[in-house]
Structure 1
Amino acid sequence: MRPESTNGTGGGGGLAVPMAWLCAEYIADELLRAGGLVEPGSLEYQAGRRTLALTVYLGDGTDGAPGTGADDRLDEWLTRTSHGHPWEDWVRERLAVRQEHDGDDEGLALARETWQRLEGTHLLATDLGALTAAPAAGLTVDESEAVWLPSWRLGLPLGHLALRLY
């Protein structure tokens, strides 16, 4: 991202995008590219990148606290994106906590905007929520039956798979 001022005469001189958010997007992008699950630039890719970026940004272990290693952060992200985890509720809760703690910082504004895009953008996809039992029980997904889903519902399992492949 470009600095707010490129000629050296303007105020600020900081990044237009806060470093914490920039790092979260970079990590999400690298994980998805390394996984090679979908074509970069596709709607599915964007959904996965946004979902992972929110997970990384809002995660408890992303602040570099002492004793928080890369494996701990990866485990946290895997847990947050796993099937059955109330990710949507977790995001709403973490956004509210960050708002209370940090106020209106730029990173939080980008996280809220990303969440609104994930909720507001709907993609036509196979209805993975139609499964009532574990796939091991012999039930299969009818891939011809598609529904409109908020993009995070597609991005979440995609992000989880990318994390598993890492």
Structure 2
Amino acid sequence: MPHRSTNGADGRGELTVPMAWLYAEYIADELLRTGELMPPTSFEYRAGRDALALTIYLADVDGELAGIRVVSQLETWLSLTAYDRAWEVWVCERMGLLESTARATGGKDPDLDLARAAWRWLEETELLAPDLDAALLDHGFLPDEDEGPQVWTPAWQLGLPLGHLAIHLF
């Protein structure tokens, strides 16, 4: 059961508040702010927040997001955001499952709409980042951020490790 406030909505077009997504985004934002890894106004920060929010939202298989204790979920989120995990495949599978459930119930899901928008932004937006593979091969050390080769990278590929690190630092 999705967590949302309808304020008396009875199918007459009243506002449905996407509480599960907003709560996931709030948790992600708090984790990133606590870690102080990036300025909150940067695109990298947004990528980290959206990747973490997607992880938190999609990991809530029982629909109990608003009632969870963050500390009890940290290990789950760490394993989902780990480097060797095919996170983007997992996201697509979970989104597909939620979309088929929404179609089957015939209802519009504002939480899922926001999750879709975040995933679309993470997939379609590219950010310029240091090419760590080339830097290590060329020099044997990591150059400063402004030095060395850079590569355009999908936002989720920058945001995911940032989110993972923020969880570790919490």
TM interval, shorter chain, is 0.7 to 0.9
Gaps of 5+ in 2: none
Q: 2:126 aligns with which of 122, 126, 134?
A: 122
* Amino acid aligned to 1:48: G
Q: Over the residues paired in the alignment, what is the CA RMSD in angstroms?
A: 2.8
1:113 is aligned to 2:120: no
Report the CA distance between 1:14 and its aligned residue: 3.9
What is the SS of the residue equivalent to 1:63? coil
Map residues 50-69 of structure 1 onto 2, 5 A cutoff: 50-60=50-60, 63-64=63-64
> Could you tell me whether the CA contact under 8 Å between 2:131 and 2:149 is conserved in 1?
yes
Alpha-carbon deviations, 1:32-88, whole Å to 9, x = none? 1010000011111111011111011101467338xx754442111100111111011
TM-score, scaled to structure 1 = 0.79
Aligned to 2:150: 146
Taking a change above 3 Å as real, the CA distance of residues 85 and 117 of structure 1, as seen in their structure-2 partners, is same
Map residues 30-41 of structure 1 onto 2, 5 A cutoff: 30-41=30-41
Report the CA distance between 1:145 and its aligned residue: 1.6
Gaps of 5+ in 1: 133-138
> Could you tell me whether the CA contact under 8 Å between 1:47 and 1:118 is conserved in 2?
yes
Count of residue pairs the alignment pairs up = 151
Q: Distance in 2 between matches of 1:75 and 1:60?
A: 14
* Amino acid aligned to 2:162: L
Aligned to 2:14: 12
Q: Distance in 2 between matches of 1:62 and 1:129?
A: 39
> Could you tell me whether the CA contact under 8 Å between 1:34 and 1:162 is conserved in 2?
yes
Q: Distance in 1 between matches of 2:6 and 2:69?
A: 32
* Amino acid aligned to 1:111: A
Aligned to 1:46: 46
Q: Distance in 2 between matches of 1:129 and 1:77?
A: 26
Runs (4+) off by over 3 Å: 68-72, 128-132, 139-143
TM-score, scaled to structure 2 = 0.77
Determine what percentage of the aligned residue pairs are the same residue: 47
Report the CA distance between 1:4 and its aligned residue: 9.2
